[in-house]
Amino acid sequence: MVTIKDVAKRAGVNPSTVSRSLKDSKSISEKTKAKVRQAMEDLGYVPNVAASQLASGLTQSVGVIFPPSTSPDRLTQPFFMEILTAINDEAKKRHFAIAIGTGDSAQDLKEQVALMHKQKLVDGFIVLYTEKDDPVSHYLQENHIPFVSVGQAEDGVKNRSFVDNDNALMAQEAVDYLVSKGHERILFVTPSETETLSQVRYAGYVKGMQAHALSPLAIGLFAPKNPETIDQLGSLIKSHRITAVIALDDLLALRLMQLLSFYDLAVPDDVSILSFNNSLYAKILHPYLTTYDIGVAALGQESLTHLLKEIAEKTADPQQLVVPFALKERESVRDLRK
């Protein structure tokens, strides 16, 4: 194994000079750096991470925490793999490694996070979910460990960093878009009314409707595991002669399509569907879904960038970072004016 000493010897300098050159310290002359770099090249030197960690106290790596897999399907949403690769790509660029945390329960996760931190495995965390009274976030905050969450900030939680889209605006623009296509009887549908995300987007929907002097409908619940909601939703759509529905995500939109076909309603001829995420699901079945791309890559990149900033500056800098979204027009929305 070639160490910093070997490089130093070959370059005819002191090991500390090599160390400094490595981090491109400005107190080393370009000439010396060049010499050192050449020596590194010649010898095929690669720094030993453990040694530098031990000496510097910095881990050069961050933890990425997945949501508790209480509902087993959640994790298999394409979103998580997408953001994981986005974060990893950004981390590579910045010479950081990432460690992942998964667990069955939030409690489990909390213990893992605590361990990772105490073991000095990571300097900070990206938490890929937000939940009320989440033990993980609480732990991180109480212990003043740098972290950023991906997802909607809860109300009242101010001194924490979040990366998210402007979900209210996105839902509002969804209404604008549908109205521009001639729709007026628009319904908002979600699989769970309690989720913060649902609430925020529903609020955006309400605002959007009101902006067009349309009366917003009550939130539509469609929980595939709860058969009641299915029937209710079906009749609601029929009786209110809904022409467009906004679905909380692509998967829900897919299920909605099937529900509608059961009621002999075709998409988009009878009912248009507009959804969010632009995930793989949007292009499985025709009609391909018109959906908002939430910029997963940007979410990942921003979260890491901000986290590293907090780590480097050793100071919490709570920010709400918002990532732009973009409409992907495909086949599930009909223009009623044509």
Per CB under 8 A, 286 contacts a copy of itself: yes
Report the partner that residue 78 touches, choosing among DNA, a copy of itself, none (CB closer than 5 to 8 A by kind). Answer: a copy of itself
Per CB under 8 A, 73 contacts a copy of itself: yes
Tokens 């109480």, residue? 142
At closest approach, how far in Å is the CB of 49 from a copy of itself? 5
Whether the Cβ atoms of residue 6 and residue 45 lie closer than 8 Å to each other: yes
**Distance of alpha carbon 150 from alpha carbon 61, whole angstroms:** 18
- Determine the interface stretch with a copy of itself among 84-92, 135-143, 187-195, 324-332 (rule: CB under 8 A): 84-92
Per CB under 8 A, 34 contacts a copy of itself: no
**Distance of alpha carbon 302 from alpha carbon 298, whole angstroms:** 6
SS3 percent helix, strand, coil of the chain, rounded to 5, is 45, 15, 40
Per CB under 8 A, 46 contacts a copy of itself: yes
Report the partner that residue 31 touches, choosing among DNA, a copy of itself, none (CB closer than 5 to 8 A by kind). Answer: DNA
| From candidates 41, 89, 176, 231, binder to a copy of itself by CB under 8 A | 89
Question: Which residues is 126 bridged to in the sheet?
Answer: 64, 148
At closest approach, how far in Å is the CB of 314 from DNA? 12
For 171-221, the DSSP string reads: HHHHHHHHHHTT--SEEEEES-SSSHHHHHHHHHHHHHHHHTT-PPPPPEE
Residues forming contacts to DNA in the complex (CB under 7 A) are 1, 3-5, 12-17, 19-20, 22-23, 26-29, 31-32, 45, 47-48, 51-52, 54-58
Question: Which residues is 291 bridged to in the sheet?
Answer: 275, 328
Cα 130 from chain centroid (whole Å): 10
Give whichever of 58 and 326 is closer to DNA, judged by the CB atom: 58
Give whichever of 75 and 179 is closer to a copy of itself, judged by the CB atom: 75
Give whichever of 14 and 85 is closer to a copy of itself, judged by the CB atom: 85
Report the partner that residue 97 touches, choosing among a copy of itself, DNA, none (CB closer than 5 to 8 A by kind). Answer: a copy of itself
At closest approach, how far in Å is the CB of 174 from DNA? 49
Query: Structure tokens of 174?
Result: 């969804």
Give whichever of 50 and 213 is closer to a copy of itself, judged by the CB atom: 50
Question: Which residues is 246 bridged to in the sheet?
Answer: 188, 274
What residues contact residue 148 under an 8 Å CB cut-off, 6+ apart? 124, 125, 126, 127, 160, 161, 162, 163, 303, 306, 307, 310, 321
Query: Structure tokens of 221?
Result: 């619940």
What is the four-CA torsion angle of 290, 293, 245, 173, rounded to 10 degrees? -110
Write the interaction track for a copy of itself spanning residues 291-330; mark x where CB under 8 A is met and - where it is not.
----------------------------------------
At closest approach, how far in Å is the CB of 322 from a copy of itself? 24
Q: Which of 265, 252, 282 is nearest to 189 (CA)?
A: 252
Per CB under 8 A, 51 contacts a copy of itself: yes
Give whichever of 25 and 70 is closer to DNA, judged by the CB atom: 25
Per CB under 8 A, 123 contacts a copy of itself: no
**Distance of alpha carbon 292 from alpha carbon 276, whole angstroms:** 5
Write the interaction track for a copy of itself spanning residues 93-112; mark x where CB under 8 A is met and - where it is not.
----xxxxxx---------x
**Distance of alpha carbon 179 from alpha carbon 115, whole angstroms:** 51
Residues in contact with a copy of itself by the rule CB under 8 A: 46-51, 53-54, 59, 66, 69, 73, 75-76, 78, 80-82, 84-85, 88-89, 92, 97-102, 112, 115, 118-121, 251, 254-255, 258, 279-280, 284-286
